[in-house]
Structure 1
């Protein structure tokens, strides 16, 4: 049935997506306090972030397939429960080992919630309503990540680092109640589960993300790549693969996946490294570092409201390329100004461009990633879109950290990653949306 009002499903999907993305970045501005409170070594502290990233990215393909197998509502509520319980443990524990284990479990919950939120939108809305909903969903990808920096700094400074995780508990309960009431039960597809393919994908992604996120270990890097190559060849022979390779047949979908990968190769290092640079140059505290990201957060949010109107006049390709150009200018401008002219000119002003560009990019890339995906593999398309999102960040960050280069070089490299995304969109996308 055609809808003329969004109702509660969009609210549920956006808020759930916001929570898991916020928790992906909230530790960036609270990590020092976590380390001091629990007396963590530098390695253990890194795992507070890495454990979440590792399981979040590794289980996305499997989670996307579970959506198609068991139905959206059931899987979504399981993911929310895992996420909420893990958040409670993180917020209460004083044991570093338990904290890291709970972060890993929280990442599994997030890997279930992320593709489900997009699949719920695809199931619930059609036509212009779906385009608008995806616009808001794409904007949330940027807003959630950057707002996590702001909220993490604020809660850490005025309450405790624990508050950033405990706040998830009541919100998760509210989402579970709303989901039970407003989300329709959907039947899964009675298919044979590709358990072997699922295991290979999890092991391959885990190995690769571990190598990228932790220490660029070549053994794990090579193992991960080999396992993923084996996974692709194995999936070709499966009647019901974890990753339907038909998703890559549509060149617009392929462009959406690749461009999203390079977008996150630039943006995660931006969110991760810039607070460190500002702390070193300006002596910013956790709350000041968080508030320093308000320009990019605000303009990402504001720009998202223009997308429904822009979608009526321009294609996803045109909007994504335009946003990428604006973002690239913002990144290069930050590199050129090199923080030496003070926060407002060197950081805040370029952030206006970076935020506006980011707000224009995410929704078109999301739309491209799920374009014309058949209903029976919609969950897999959502899972693959989110997998590229989670994989790109560690790849970009590992490249820049391995270089050990200065601020200007790293910002320049982030800009180059976005330029590559522009070239992919220009030359790979075929059909005008």
Structure 2
């Protein structure tokens, strides 16, 4: 995911405040401080078209995370998807995007940013078309996974292009706009998804990417400056590390999704969860031995970063899981059209924004851990409110208060977690640290949908009205428990001291 710097000292750290992963700080290849033909210097304004292309690509990436949620019931009905397949439509994208984020950053470091960006854009556009043409669960899920992998390539390269093309005031504006894309992602995605599904069918949420991607690709070939990069070898990419971490995440999500049909103790589920654990151990062993690991071993010793990433993973999961379950509830039980469901989520997005404002003011008087813990308790309260919803509930009294409270709590957590996690990280390691944090954000989003969907499905199928009612209550009870456990963890493990500077991040979903 990405982040928006909120104070100028952090701008110099480049992707130290971004979703993009390790794009800046490297000991090999090129960095964001490198220049190439067209790189800007203070006083030398560069054309804005390069920024426009990078932002257009990132808008595609951000919208395709949330745009699917309001279209999901329509997709499920049309393709006859069960609850497990519906959650895979969301998690396949997030899993590949999050799991491949650090690897995509490494590729953007070592190879030509221009061609990495354009390659990702091409694959993303093709995968979007395939998604719209899909006539079954397998084809759609595979295409969504392809979109996610393309996003993992495209986003780090796009941010790196901004950093190397612009400087001074132009760079600051570029980073501000980049952050704004994420801040608007929740509202814009659910609204756009609802509108397109209502007016043109769910396929249009994918087809709309084709003309945007094609125009951006043609323009990018002409206007994005190329850079000369040193020769690299395959050993510098840590393909084995990337493969094992994605494989572990895929096995875990598959195991959770299979619980609806096969049960928690079935051989299929246990085999998947065991495979996930084995691959996770293999990844850790690999990283300790690799010459160029995706995650340097000393990263795990940075307590503030690891604790912040853990909290980020949990709160992101609750956030995206909330959108997933609530979208199904209001459309299946309340009869909301997709566009009406999209409008219904606008207060939720506004509450997240309000929460970030509250957190920034609160951090002037308290520690990040206190603010984050308070936000998680607020979030748990909102989840408990949603457990009271029933088939006869109205949106205004049964759903909106809980959604708004969850949004407020989520916003209160994002800012202190990102500030404390990045505090004290030297500029030369800012890219790696931010990539680590944002990987937790993306992976948490994928796991949140999988976990809450699996818990909800223990009460019945999410494709039936009765199953949705009972599953909604059970899913949000689990969310409340997770939030309270995270609140205790945050208070015990996050730094106990105040952090000066207040540079923070805005998330999307």
TM more than 0.5: yes
1:225 Cα offset (Å): 1.1
Contact 1:136 / 1:304 at 8 angstroms: preserved in 2?
Answer: no
The verdict on how the C-alpha distance between 1:13 and 1:218 changes in structure 2, with shifts beyond 3 A counting, is: farther
The verdict on how the C-alpha distance between 1:139 and 1:211 changes in structure 2, with shifts beyond 3 A counting, is: farther
The residue aligned with 1:152 is 193
- Answering whether residue 140 of structure 2 is matched by residue 88 of structure 1, we say no
Contact 1:131 / 1:308 at 8 angstroms: preserved in 2?
Answer: no
- The CA RMSD measured in Å over matched residues stands at 4.2
- Answering whether residue 161 of structure 2 is matched by residue 109 of structure 1, we say no
> After superposition, where does 1:207-226 map in structure 2 within 5 Å?
207-215=251-259, 217-226=269-278
1:108 Cα offset (Å): 0.9
Which of residues 476, 487, 490 in structure 2 aligns to 1:411?
476
Note the residue ranges of structure 2 that are not aligned, 5 or more in a row.
1-40, 460-469, 501-509
Deviation sequence 1:235-280 (CA, Å, 0-9, x none): 1122211222222222221122100111123122211111222234
The verdict on how the C-alpha distance between 1:228 and 1:39 changes in structure 2, with shifts beyond 3 A counting, is: closer
Which of residues 275, 279, 283 in structure 1 aligns to 2:331?
279
Aligned with 1:29: secondary structure? helix
* Counterparts of 2:166 and 2:387, CA distance in 1: 41
244-253 or 423-432, which deviates more: 423-432
Contact 2:197 / 2:339 at 8 angstroms: preserved in 1?
Answer: yes
Aligned with 1:295: secondary structure? helix
The verdict on how the C-alpha distance between 1:12 and 1:401 changes in structure 2, with shifts beyond 3 A counting, is: same
User: What TM-score results when the alignment is normalised by the length of structure 2?
Assistant: 0.69
The verdict on how the C-alpha distance between 1:318 and 1:10 changes in structure 2, with shifts beyond 3 A counting, is: farther
Contact 1:115 / 1:383 at 8 angstroms: preserved in 2?
Answer: no
* Counterparts of 1:37 and 1:60, CA distance in 2: 32
> After superposition, where does 1:3-82 map in structure 2 within 5 Å?
16-37=57-78, 47-70=88-111, 72-82=113-123
1:156 Cα offset (Å): 0.8
The residue aligned with 1:389 is 441
Aligned with 1:91: secondary structure? helix
Contact 2:315 / 2:410 at 8 angstroms: preserved in 1?
Answer: no
> After superposition, where does 1:304-319 map in structure 2 within 5 Å?
316-317=368-369, 319=371
* Counterparts of 1:213 and 1:114, CA distance in 2: 28
392-401 or 408-417, which deviates more: 392-401
Note the residue ranges of structure 1 that are not aligned, 5 or more in a row.
none
* Counterparts of 1:128 and 1:305, CA distance in 2: 24
The verdict on how the C-alpha distance between 1:305 and 1:220 changes in structure 2, with shifts beyond 3 A counting, is: same
* Counterparts of 1:180 and 1:155, CA distance in 2: 30
The residue aligned with 2:490 is 425
* Counterparts of 1:75 and 1:274, CA distance in 2: 37
* Counterparts of 1:76 and 1:370, CA distance in 2: 26
The verdict on how the C-alpha distance between 1:266 and 1:287 changes in structure 2, with shifts beyond 3 A counting, is: same
Which of residues 300, 309, 312 in structure 2 aligns to 1:248?
300
- Answering whether residue 244 of structure 2 is matched by residue 200 of structure 1, we say yes
Greater helix fraction, Structure 1 or Structure 2:
1
The residue aligned with 1:260 is 312
The verdict on how the C-alpha distance between 1:364 and 1:416 changes in structure 2, with shifts beyond 3 A counting, is: same
> After superposition, where does 1:282-297 map in structure 2 within 5 Å?
282-297=334-349
User: What TM-score results when the alignment is normalised by the length of structure 1?
Assistant: 0.80
Contact 2:104 / 2:156 at 8 angstroms: preserved in 1?
Answer: yes
141-150 or 276-285, which deviates more: 141-150
Q: What is the total number of aligned residue pairs between the two structures?
A: 432
* Counterparts of 1:68 and 1:398, CA distance in 2: 32
- Answering whether residue 415 of structure 2 is matched by residue 343 of structure 1, we say no
Deviation sequence 1:81-129 (CA, Å, 0-9, x none): 2212221333345576554432221121122234556667888999999
- Answering whether residue 414 of structure 2 is matched by residue 362 of structure 1, we say yes
The verdict on how the C-alpha distance between 1:269 and 1:161 changes in structure 2, with shifts beyond 3 A counting, is: same
Aligned with 1:387: secondary structure? helix
Aligned with 2:387: secondary structure? helix
* Counterparts of 1:185 and 1:349, CA distance in 2: 51
1:219 Cα offset (Å): 0.8
* Counterparts of 1:156 and 1:281, CA distance in 2: 18
1:185 Cα offset (Å): 6.3
Aligned with 2:291: secondary structure? coil
The verdict on how the C-alpha distance between 1:337 and 1:212 changes in structure 2, with shifts beyond 3 A counting, is: closer
Aligned with 2:237: secondary structure? coil
* Counterparts of 2:483 and 2:173, CA distance in 1: 25
* Counterparts of 1:123 and 1:330, CA distance in 2: 43
* Counterparts of 1:35 and 1:302, CA distance in 2: 33
127-136 or 188-197, which deviates more: 127-136
